Amino acid sequence: MTVVSNDSRFQPINLFEYEKLAKEHLSQMTLDYYSSGAWDEITLRDNRAAFERVKLRPRTLVDVSDRNLSTSILGQPLQLPLLIAPMAFQCLAHPDGEVATAIAAASAGVGMVLSTMATKSMEEVAAVGNKQNTLQWFQLYIHKDRGLTRALVERAYAAGYKALCLTVDAPVLGQRERDQRNEFALPPNLHLANLATISGLDISHETGESGLFTYFAQQLNPAVTWRDLEWLQSISPLPLILKGILRGDDAVRAVESGARAIIVSNHGGRQLDGAIASLDVLAEIVAAADGKAEVLLDGGIRRGTDILKALALGAKAVLIGRPVLWGLAVAGQVGVSHVISLLQDELNVAMALSGCAKLQDIDSSLLRFNQSLS
């Protein structure tokens, strides 16, 4: 697989090189929007550092000549334990945006979670997944306007999404100072496709700022509680996934509230700075879920060994975010496909070198911690 850089001799061979190369293809405003975290970006950095604190204890003299990376999430098969996290405004990286990402995900047999704040409509993206029966979930919030939430849910169900992924860690938007400094705004040719196509919304386009983005920010509802999950489930038969859980007691409440899966996530360090790294709380969440909900991890994945560590701590699969944007910026669908392929190859090698022929062989005995996880 070939990608293009300004230096024709340089081709990225890992996700870190994709990040470096993406800087050649993105404006400073877009690069900062994608890469920034909240306030001092402590949590953003710690998501990566958490993986570096965990060391591997490989098994030896195990027959790993035939390796199997496949799994299933909520009964739907995946070729490897990977989903693409919900990310806004992907058309800032490439004109094909979320559609290119969906094609790459479907081709690789991995899952995709589409953001409410996508720049391609949920119907366009779903059409890609439906052709190959791939795992696609729709991410949403419970907005102040329940009619808006209901409209999005009904459209997601009609389009063929397999689950609703409710983000629960954003009662208000986190403060990202790079975006404040840049006065981030969508260019005039882009909009929030899933809101723009809902009839009846009174949305003005204000000077220097996307009216749709302003409308979305105003619709975040800090009054949402666990009681509101019952209403959400009453308007759709789709399974409910909660994204943004960082405490064991919240995981218990999630299960009691009917969540079929939990995504351990701190929003990529973009919400509450100083929040615990996702990996550091994963074992606690897995124990609290007690097999009653599948647990996935989001945040900091950059290597196949990172996936191995997350699975060893009990995650059923992981989500990746920013590396997909780097691949998309560099080479569109080809770049995203290459990013997925790199992680697949690295996980394959990591499993072989750790004495694991299949995902079920991965357990916590493979790990040693430089710093206690709690």
Tokens of 311: 């699975």
Torsion of CA 66, 311, 307, 360, to 10 degrees: 10
Told to judge if 267 belongs to the known catalytic residues of this protein, a careful annotator would answer yes
Asked whether the beta carbons of 97 and 34 are under 8 A apart, the reply is: no
247 annotated to bind ligand? no
260 annotated to bind ligand? no
290 annotated to bind ligand? no
309 annotated to bind ligand? no
Closest C-alpha to 132, from 101, 159, 109, 114: 109
298 annotated to bind ligand? yes
DSSP line for 106-145: HHHT-EEEE-TT-SS-HHHHHHHHHHHT--EEEEE---SS
176 annotated to bind ligand? yes
299 annotated to bind ligand? yes
301 annotated to bind ligand? yes
86 annotated to bind ligand? yes
The residue from 94, 143, 191, 267 that is catalytic is 267
Is the sign of the CA dihedral 249, 252, 258, 264 positive or negative? positive
305 annotated to bind ligand? no
191 annotated to bind ligand? no
167 annotated to bind ligand? yes
d(CA 349, CA 169): 35
Strand segments, DSSP code E, in the chain are 54-56, 71-73, 76-78, 82-84, 111-114, 136-140, 163-167, 240-245, 261-264, 294-298, 317-320, 367-369
265 annotated to bind ligand? yes
88 annotated to bind ligand? yes
DSSP strand pairing (82-84 vs 76-78): unpaired
Asked whether the beta carbons of 340 and 1 are under 8 A apart, the reply is: no
58 annotated to bind ligand? no
Asked whether the beta carbons of 240 and 193 are under 8 A apart, the reply is: no
Q: Which residues are annotated as a binding site?
A: 33, 86-88, 115, 139, 141, 167, 176, 243, 265, 267, 270, 298-302, 321-322
Q: Which residues are annotated as a binding site for glyoxylate?
A: 33, 141, 167, 176, 267, 270
Q: Which residues are annotated as a binding site for FMN?
A: 86-88, 115, 139, 243, 265, 298-302, 321-322
* Enzyme catalytic residues: 267
